[in-house]
Amino acid sequence: MILINYPPREQWAEILRRPALDTENLFDTVRSIIDRVRAEGDKAVLDYEARFDKVELASLAVTEEEMQEAVEAVGVELKAAIYLAQKNIETFHAAQRFTGKKVETMEGVTCWQKAVGIEKVGLYIPGGTAPLFSTVLMLAVPAKLAGCKEIVLCSPPGKDGKIHPAVLFAARVAGVSKIYKAGGVQAIAAMAYGTESIPKVYKIFGPGNQYVTAAKQLVSLRDVAIDMPAGPSEVEVLADETANPVFVAADLLSQAEHGADSQALLITTSEKLQKEVMYEVERQLGYLPRRDIAAKALENSKLIVVKDTEEALQMTNEYAPEHLIIQTTDYHQLAERVTNAGSVFLGPLSPESAGDYASGTNHTLPTNGYAKAYSGVSLDSFIRKITFQEILPQGMCAIGPAIEVMAANEQLDAHKNAVTVRLNSIRKQ
């Protein structure tokens, strides 16, 4: 860990800099896989599964039999936890439902918005040693609530040719329509363009490694929307001298264990806390199964002391953390002034883990400073707001002449004429 005390303002940018993401150098490799899947469909996906996931699949779709097997394989305790998380995620996201108001901007000119679910969405769930069933819930629960008609999920199978039972169980609970054994670039390409088995979708969601990220970027240039650009996960803890160093250390470590490139940052007004957290991180690290990964991430982890909470807040807004945990006496007041962050956790008993799993908020959030321009995934991510307008004679008389003047000044006479012919017809009556 790197201790930094009272850095002057001109050093902030350097201190807060993230490692550069560069997916563009992968574009050529990734594009060739995408092109082949686009041209050859299932055959290409099956080939890539054999090559990259080392598994020979007879078919891509998960069968009802496999689903039943998975449902039986998941333990009763995990099932209960998944149901609890699903319910909370549903409760929070259901409260985000949008009802458009009809607005009469002038008499006889009525405009409104209506939320409509994206018809077909694709969810990508990475494989690897740990089954990310929590991400299944975070994406499929709001998709279902939004009214998406087709919710497609792709996840790479293990060496046994199967998707982890907990992932399948979570998908069933959350209402996923169709599940396919496909990972990496080939899965993204399949959902972007469709194959014989895998349906084409209109928007692709979900995390992944740099190849998956590059594939999502490439297909999003023209053909399909994506949730948001991705980078390594990150947490910032903003704490004063009243914070519990055991909690702060545990929060930093829970981020560090994600991967060697994870960012864990403490910004505090207390030199004492800085030291205590440092010792506590070392102590807790010894107990962690993933201590090698966490230790690697901690090498770049910074514990920064600033002069007051005002400065801490300014530095926070400049950093724009994906997760921000505020453990100060005045955390409510500070929270009001956070302008750049993905998800904010308030007070001593709100660890990031709560939002990662079960409190109800979404865990798909903007990393890499993207919180300055992007929101995390929410119900909004699965809908579009279509605008409607209806203009009555009185309304056309009110706004028509202004439209004629504006259109004429933009040298768009046909635009003007579309109003003129209507004004003439009203005047004739």
Catalytic residue positions, numbered: 322-323
Tokens 């004739």 found at: 428
- Residue with Cβ nearer a second copy (67 or 109): 109
Span 191-220, contacts to a second copy by CB under 8 A: 202-203, 217, 220
Looking at this protein, which amino acid is placed at residue 417? N
Contact with a second copy (CB under 8 A): which of 251, 276, 311, 322?
251
Contact with a second copy (CB under 8 A): which of 150, 250, 275, 296?
250
- Which segments of 175-270 are extended strands (E)? 178-181, 203-205, 225-226, 234-239, 263-268
Provide the minimum distance between the beta carbon of 14 and a second copy in the complex, in angstroms, as a whole number: 16
Asked whether position 95 contacts a second copy by CB under 8 A, the answer is yes
Asked whether position 1 contacts a second copy by CB under 8 A, the answer is no
Q: Are 362 and 376 in contact (CB under 8 A)?
A: yes
Contact with a second copy (CB under 8 A): which of 1, 67, 71, 399?
399
Residue 193, classed as helix, strand or coil, is helix
Tokens 């458009």 found at: 100
- Residue with Cβ nearer a second copy (47 or 291): 291
Q: Which stretch binds a second copy (CB under 8 A): 10-18, 184-192, 308-316, 385-393?
A: 385-393
Asked whether position 13 contacts a second copy by CB under 8 A, the answer is no
- Residue with Cβ nearer a second copy (60 or 214): 214
Asked whether position 242 contacts a second copy by CB under 8 A, the answer is no
Nearest to 148 by CA among 46, 225, 213: 225
How does strand 109-117 pair with strand 103-106? antiparallel
- Residue 173 tokens read as 């609970």
Span 135-164, contacts to a second copy by CB under 8 A: none
DSSP 359: S
How does strand 178-181 pair with strand 150-155? parallel
| CB atoms closer than 10 angstroms to residue 314 | 16
Asked whether position 126 contacts a second copy by CB under 8 A, the answer is no
Residues whose CB falls within 8 Å of the CB of residue 405, separated by 6 or more in sequence, listed in order: none
Span 98-117, contacts to a second copy by CB under 8 A: 101, 103, 105-106, 109, 111, 113, 116
Contact with a second copy (CB under 8 A): which of 175, 199, 229, 259?
229
Asked whether position 297 contacts a second copy by CB under 8 A, the answer is no
Crossing angle, helix 184-193 and helix 210-220, to 10 degrees? 20
Tokens 């979404």 found at: 362
Asked whether position 28 contacts a second copy by CB under 8 A, the answer is no
- Residue with Cβ nearer a second copy (60 or 249): 249
- Give the C-alpha separation, 44 to 40, whole Å: 6
Asked whether position 177 contacts a second copy by CB under 8 A, the answer is no
Binding residues for substrate: 233, 255, 258, 323, 356, 410, 415
Binding residues for NAD(+): 124, 186, 209
Asked whether position 38 contacts a second copy by CB under 8 A, the answer is no
Residue 429, classed as helix, strand or coil, is coil
Span 65-94, contacts to a second copy by CB under 8 A: 77-78, 80-82, 84-85, 87-88, 91-92
Asked whether position 50 contacts a second copy by CB under 8 A, the answer is no
Asked whether position 357 contacts a second copy by CB under 8 A, the answer is yes
Span 306-325, contacts to a second copy by CB under 8 A: none
- Give the C-alpha separation, 396 to 424, whole Å: 11
What are the counts of helices (DSSP H) followed by strands (DSSP E) for the chain?
17, 14
Provide the minimum distance between the beta carbon of 386 and a second copy in the complex, in angstroms, as a whole number: 6
- Residue 246 tokens read as 């055991």
